[in-house]
């Protein structure tokens, strides 16, 4: 766990979310799946003027109306209450009555006309002999309003097929302009500026757009949500930007602003350091590209009282070296390179020369398998499990070395023990998988090193990964598990390619095993393909 003393922003308590329910009413249109949306009042206290799905806060009467609703065997009390709330809201806001008579007939126009929208809903249905059709309502998603907002809701997004023979009529108080729209069309109109929507609505429509028919949606849904999200917000190009848990900036926002303050700038820039914690800064080298993403991340660990450890000084770029030196106020005590590749280690000697104290350069020397451009010799090698420390009045900051060959034979990762942070070099990246390039790269060693990092996460309580390229990653154990699963899935595709074309070339196999990767990337993919083939042959898997 990150020490509270190292957080950049004061802790605060987020507003408690209120239970609510939202329903997506669906139908099959001439051009595919359509969803019913309405425009909220411009004076609404939440999302004014936005196009939304009907829904609202769950009230006590919803929980007390279970006897009036039909249910599925697996539909528990909480899910039933949510479905009843969504049914009530769809009637109050749009005049859609999700109910049946005792003989199974759907409610019709006469029933709708007989009920008052603002009178107690359940009691009116009971008096008319109607049963709420909650068994027709399924769970699609679960959204919890962002931590930075003053009004928050805990909302299941439910789905149901629109009852036949009914037409939506807005209440003209909270909701206006009901419209049936294809998800892709709504997204396009929002992008054009004519159909304003809020973040959860947009992300839900993006996923709904993958379905062609209502049946496909309902078959995919059940009692548990297809996804759950409590987004986080940051600033990008001067504007508010929100992200779900699987999106690349989410982990960084969770590290810098755990309580949801919208204060962190996500723009990549190489002209100044980015503070992530009081004892952690990132400086990104000006070397963006296909292999380096936004550039190589150099990190400074420490504080003005302890001095700093510089991790991965990057390429030998004079301006980047100068910025590292100035960010540390010239007080760099140690320099560590995660491995010897030319975008990581060449800056070590120039940075050392810039410091009056000539701090030692630590790491692992390049092995005989390394390419000429990746030759590296530290002043001292770090043993597996060895710790290095700087300390002062601001606290103690301890890095533990973990040898992780695979991407490179001399690769190591570093754990900041006091704060449960993993500096992963190129072994774990954000947004892409690293290249494993033989002979210095080895796929079996790479996978074994992932297992080693999983053990380190458990041992040191690691929640965040700081890669050499890309934003901070959150959910560290899950990220490593997903990366290993991806590698093994790719290995299975390589095996299938080798079996399909036993006399094929590497070019033949990459076209089959990496057909989901842009063809322009195949030359890079072929390096990792070779590592997979060598592992497969060594293990006798083909």
Euclidean distance between CA atoms 13 and 537, whole angstroms: 55
Q: For residue 343, indicate whether it is catalytic.
A: yes
What distance lies between CA 491 and its chain's CA centroid?
A: 24
Q: Is the dihedral of CA 60, 66, 71, 75 positive or negative?
A: positive
Contact yes or no for 449/425 (Cβ under 8 A): no
Euclidean distance between CA atoms 256 and 274, whole angstroms: 11
Contact yes or no for 461/411 (Cβ under 8 A): no
Q: Which of 62, 146, 331, 343 is catalytic?
A: 343
Contact yes or no for 521/476 (Cβ under 8 A): no
Name 261's Cβ contacts closer than 8 Å, sequence gap at least 6.
Answer: 9, 12, 148
Q: Rg of the chain over CA atoms, in angstroms?
A: 28
DSSP state of 473: B
Provide φ and ψ at 158, rounded to 5°: -100, 160
User: Comparing C-alpha atoms, which of 312, 306, 354 is closest to residue 336?
Assistant: 312
What distance lies between CA 500 and its chain's CA centroid?
A: 35
Maximum C-alpha span of the chain: 89
Euclidean distance between CA atoms 41 and 375, whole angstroms: 65
Euclidean distance between CA atoms 299 and 332, whole angstroms: 11
113, β-bridge pairs: none
Contact yes or no for 60/208 (Cβ under 8 A): no
131, β-bridge pairs: 100
Torsion-angle region of 420 (φ positive above 0: left; ψ -120 to 50: alpha; else: beta): left
Q: Is the dihedral of CA 376, 382, 384, 388 positive or negative?
A: negative
Q: Is the dihedral of CA 315, 317, 323, 328 positive or negative?
A: positive
User: Six-digit token pair at 237?
Assistant: 């190009």
Euclidean distance between CA atoms 522 and 506, whole angstroms: 10
Contact yes or no for 436/391 (Cβ under 8 A): no
DSSP state of 317: -
301, β-bridge pairs: 280, 309
Q: Is 61 helix (H, G, I), strand (E, B) or coil?
A: helix
Contact yes or no for 70/9 (Cβ under 8 A): no
Contact yes or no for 155/56 (Cβ under 8 A): no
159, β-bridge pairs: 24, 138
Residue numbers annotated as active site: 343
């Amino acid at each position: 766990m990150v020490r509270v003393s190292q957080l950049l922003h004061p802790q605060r308590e987020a507003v408690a979310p209120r239970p609510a329910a939202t329903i997506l009413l669906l139908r099959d249109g001439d051009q595919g799946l359509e969803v019913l949306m309405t425009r909220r009042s411009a004076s609404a206290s939440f999302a004014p003027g936005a196009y939304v799905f009907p829904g609202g806060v769950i009230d006590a009467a919803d929980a007390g109306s279970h006897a009036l609703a039909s249910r599925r065997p697996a539909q528990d009390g909480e899910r039933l209450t949510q479905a009843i709330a969504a049914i009530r809201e769809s009637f109050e806001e749009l005049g859609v009555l999700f109910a049946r008579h005792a003989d199974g007939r759907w409610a019709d126009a006469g029933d709708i006309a007989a009920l008052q929208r603002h009178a107690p809903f359940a009691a009116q249905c009971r008096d008319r002999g109607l049963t709420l059709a909650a068994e027709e309502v399924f769970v699609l998603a679960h959204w919890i309003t962002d931590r930075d907002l003053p009004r928050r809701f805990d909302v299941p997004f439910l789905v149901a097929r629109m009852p036949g023979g009914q037409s939506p009529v807005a209440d003209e108080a909270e909701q206006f302009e009901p419209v049936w729209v294809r998800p892709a069309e709504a997204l396009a109109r929002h992008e054009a500026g004519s159909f304003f929507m809020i973040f959860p609505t947009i992300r839900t429509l993006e996923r709904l757009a993958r379905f062609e028919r209502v049946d496909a949606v309902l078959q995919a849904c059940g009692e548990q949500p297809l996804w759950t999200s409590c987004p986080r917000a940051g600033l990008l190009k001067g504007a508010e930007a929100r992200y779900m848990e699987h999106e690349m900036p989410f982990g960084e926002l969770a590290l810098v602003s755990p309580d949801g303050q919208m204060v962190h700038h996500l723009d990549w820039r190489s002209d100044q350091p980015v503070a992530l914690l009081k004892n952690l800064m990132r400086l990104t080298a000006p070397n963006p590209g296909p292999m380096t993403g936004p550039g190589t991340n150099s990190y400074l660990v420490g504080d003005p009282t302890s001095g700093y450890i510089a991790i991965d000084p990057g390429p030998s770029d004079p301006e980047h070296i100068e910025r590292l030196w100035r960010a540390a106020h010239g007080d760099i005590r140690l320099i560590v390179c995660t491995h010897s590749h030319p975008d990581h280690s060449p800056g070590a000697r120039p940075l050392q020369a810039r410091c009056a104290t000539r701090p030692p350069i630590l790491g692992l020397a390049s092995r005989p398998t390394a390419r000429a451009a990746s030759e590296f010799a530290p002043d001292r090698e770090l043993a597996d499990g060895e710790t290095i420390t700087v300390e002062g009045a601001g606290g103690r900051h301890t890095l533990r070395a973990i040898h992780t060959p695979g991407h490179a034979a001399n690769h190591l990762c570093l754990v900041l023990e006091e704060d449960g942070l993993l500096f992963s070099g190129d072994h774990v990246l954000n947004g892409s998988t690293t290249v494993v390039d033989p002979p210095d790269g080895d796929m079996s060693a790479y996978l074994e090193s992932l297992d080693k990092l999983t053990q380190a996460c458990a041992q040191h309580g690691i929640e965040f990964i700081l890669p050499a390229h890309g934003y901070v990653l959150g959910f560290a154990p899950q990220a490593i598990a997903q990366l290993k699963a991806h590698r093994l899935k790719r290995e299975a595709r390589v095996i299938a390619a080798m079996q399909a074309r036993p006399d094929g070339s590497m070019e033949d196999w990459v076209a089959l095993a990496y057909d989901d990767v842009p063809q322009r990337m195949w030359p890079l993919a072929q390096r990792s393909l070779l590592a997979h083939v060598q592992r497969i042959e060594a293990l006798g898997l083909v």
